[in-house]
Copies of this chain bind each other. A is one copy, B any other.
Amino acid sequence: MKKKRVTLKDMASELGISISTVSRALKDHPDIDKGLTKKVKALAQKWSYIPNPLAMGLLRQQTRVIGVIVPDLVTYFFSSIISGIEDELQQAGYYIVISSSKESLEKEIECVHNLLNLRIDGLIVCLAQNSNQTDHFKKVLDHDVPLVFFDRVCLEKEVSTVVVDNVSMARDITTHFFENGARRIAHITGPKHLNIVEERAEGYLKGLKEVGLPFEKKYLVHTDLSPLSTEKAIQKLLQLPHRPDAILGVNDTVIFATMKAIKGTDLKIPHDILLAGFSDEFHATVVEPNLTSVAHPTHEIGRNAAKLILEQIEEEKAIQKKIVLNTALHIRASSVRMKKEGTWSLGFF
């Protein structure tokens, strides 16, 4: 027998008063008799009355649910961002519904529609790897549902975003390589419709220029980020007559693969080749040697995305914003030739 939830009606008939009086008493309406208010509240307490969010939602046309779409749930990068989003939103009394696009455009479109049907009050998204259309997001905007992108973004003119300064970080790593003796610096880059990929490549070029190294086409290889394609890209580099003496990966994953490939050769890291990646996955400090990487402030990315959504919900006409968060370059053994092993951080800058 389902224990029916207590409603205003129940309490009204118990107390022999009208529903609206109960409703008002519960929200301390000044018109209501103090004594009555007290009595109503006591009963509500006793019966542990909870307003039905469905009824409220129907009335106000809002669900207090925020949708979140991430490329996957299982990597540390995304799960810790979600954790940040959750911290911020639950404090504000919102719930989050998480969907995974599994790095696929089709899934992403499906998720957007599902969430729109659920009547979410806002949507936070990190694009899938092969997300190269924007129609589904335009639809979100059409419905006037607040939207925020983080990390991998698009429609930057219209949508608020939370990102990091990929250009500077890629440049910094490149010059760091140079300072550690590297002269043939390579970059493994990814699908170019992704803003983060483009930016990192740009930073790489900038870094080369800064230290006076010429850009050589052969040292820039592409991967679509599939394991096979990544493997090919790595081999292309390793089999070059003049092998690179440093490799900057578009993310940590390709660098882990690179390390594995290098173990099969006579090359030593960092003696013969320097390595660094992006996003500071958890493993960065467990592989041998420890991997130099750009640490994203994941928790903060999540919190900021959540704050932007909240702003847009609350303010009638919130303007588009772009938040650029600082990253930390964690320099570890994989990229340091002069120093002994050890990890230190250049701090957040």
Contact = CB atoms under 8 A, between A and B. Distances in A.
A144 to B, nearest CB: 5
Interface string A267-296: 000000000000000110011100000000
Given A58-B52, A74-B80, A3 B98 contact: no
A180 interface: no
Interface string A1-45: 111010000000000000000000000000000000000000000
A2 B55 CA distance: 21
A98 B78 CA distance: 14
B90 A83 contact: no
Nearest to A111: B90
A266 B30 CA distance: 76
Q: How many copies does the complex hold?
A: 2
A228 B185 CA distance: 42
Interface size class of A (residues with CB under 8 A): 35 or more
A262 interface: no
B63 A54 contact: yes
A86 B79 CA distance: 14
A73 interface: yes
A340 interface: no
B282 A54 contact: no
A73 B83 contact: yes
Contacts of A215: none
A53 B118 contact: yes
Interface in A181-238: none
Given A74-B80, A79-B73, A3 B144 contact: yes
B57 A54 contact: yes
Nearest to A143: B3
B83 A99 contact: no
B53 A55 contact: no
A140 to B, nearest CB: 11
A117 interface: yes
Interface string A114-145: 10111100000000000000000000001110
Given A79-B79, A95-B114, A95-B118, 14 more contacts: A5-B119, A50-B117, A53-B117, A54-B57, A65-B97, A72-B83, A73-B80, A73-B82, A74-B79, A83-B100, A86-B99, A95-B97, A98-B98, A283-B283
Interface of A: 1-3, 5, 50, 52-55, 57-58, 61, 63, 65, 72-76, 79-80, 82-83, 86, 90, 95-100, 114, 116-119, 142-144, 256, 282-283, 286-288
Report the 3 A-B pairs with minimum CB-CB distance, sorted nearest first.
A54-B57, A54-B58, A74-B79
